[in-house]
Chain A
């Protein structure tokens, strides 16, 4: 018991880690899993935090011996500190959704060198072979599915506008795949602007698109938050011809619209914050049962339509 309170003094624990003392598990016999994720800065990360909390609670119930430490960071440099603190606390496994790949590579490598089992989620690291387990969505497929949706929707050609996200690698990968998918098709991209996966920005960007172009057949908002903003701007403009809106990532509000049908959106692309769930579960399983889990676990990004919407609908999630 004394050892335990001793370690809970964070500063001392960090000092211990820094001088390379051997790891001491917090709970006697049990293992500790550290989870490092981005803080709730937009809807998707909000959902991520919600699902993390939920999964950790379930896992604690199932495996009372295992302890969890969750740290949410606002930016990459805070996340680097978080990882260092977690390692200093003596974690046995680290589940991390890196803010950016580059800055997090070195600290995670250090953790690995200390014998920590590494699970990366959604984004890989800048160097291959560090993580033991990778759980991710399929970002290129995200763009491809969106491209296919518009090609199928408009076989005779159409003019569409695109909202990009927060300028990041993920956004680049998706947009490149989207543009490539539309190459040679009759669907023409009129313009692209950053809407930061944000409803307010989505509203303003869509208002400006509507002023700039007389004929718009569709918009790919890239994200459901931005799509909600775009829908309001379209409603306000009151164009005689309806504009097709596609968002993405599976916000429950939008999935419900798809499920109910008859509204402005008839599809969504699955790229949900729920991908943290298998990452935490698999890592916990490994710690608890010594299951030899390693490798890559890729979740598809299928198109959500009225027929399969039920499967992707989480009414209680904040996202």
Chain B
């Protein structure tokens, strides 16, 4: 009935269709890449691919956390606003630390630790309200989304909170730096994605996440600590948002009330495009990453080719999202 059941090995006749539909997001990605390379000479250049992958790492890292939350049957709409608020607070903290410690890597490190702490606090808040408070996740995170966004707007007086320009130079490599041509944000996303995928599939807690999303009652009778695991998914989401924010901040060195606007929808769309079940019980980290790349590619290709009126960019995105999800319909119907 639910998606987890489709994973059962003793229904071999489902194997072929399942494998085919699992390839859905990959097929969509490959199709987009070939369209892009046909339409634009600069699309496959190393510079463009590096730009694209580095940009995508921000929402990519957020989508990794979102995959856990959604797999466990939850939802977090607050990630974009949370990122904006963390960005603002971290910049204020780093400016304060910088004025006494000077422009050193230590200040950047303080910023990272502060961001992670804020992410854990915000994630715990969401998790406890949903799980212990028994309020629907949609409502709780819609509420915190508004709260976080308003607080950053208030803190910045509607304008921007900027990193002092000397600190900007110190923090810059976090976004722009690279090892052997692979940018730091991309490396961070790959490590996090591989780790999260392994935990989701192999570790006990990962299996618990899936089991809870599949059927919380059964999970509880199986002696899984349902509350704790569900709260932890929100905390992990907070940590992912904090990491993504520490990639975002050095890019432009500023937080504004429009920072992270609609990132929650991009992340959720990417997770679903990637094959994770919106109602929980089945999750795929690599799929979410592919989903983020698909969304980023559409924008990039439209910018590079001027294929149609830019007024229609949103329509192309809509069409491709629906097609990508339709390609996996086979598995969903089982």
Contacts and interface: CB of A to CB of B under 8 A. Distances in A.
A200 B156 CA distance: 17
A159 to B, nearest CB: 15
Contacts of B313: 194
B245 to A, nearest CB: 13
A50 B303 contact: no
Nearest to A252: B159
Interface in B278-331: 299-300, 303-304, 306, 310-311, 313
A41 B257 contact: yes
A236 interface: yes
Given A47-B159, A204-B55, A318-B158, A232 B251 contact: yes
A209 B51 CA distance: 12
A50 B159 contact: yes
B158 to A, nearest CB: 3
B252 A203 contact: yes
B310 A46 contact: no
A211 interface: yes
Nearest to A48: B158
Interface in A24-65: 40-43, 45-50
Contacts of A229: 252
Contacts, number: 95
Range, interface on chain B: 20 to 34
A51 to B, nearest CB: 10
Contact of A228 (B48, B51, B252, B259): B252
A223 interface: no
Contacts of A232: 251-252
Given A40-B153, A48-B158, A318-B160, 16 more contacts: A41-B258, A42-B257, A43-B159, A43-B160, A46-B157, A46-B159, A194-B310, A194-B313, A198-B258, A200-B251, A208-B304, A209-B303, A211-B45, A211-B47, A225-B160, A236-B176
10 contacts: A46-B256, A48-B158, A50-B158, A167-B311, A200-B259, A207-B51, A209-B303, A212-B303, A253-B160, A318-B158
10 closest pairs, A vs B, by CB?
A318-B159, A46-B158, A40-B158, A208-B303, A318-B157, A211-B48, A46-B159, A211-B42, A319-B159, A207-B51
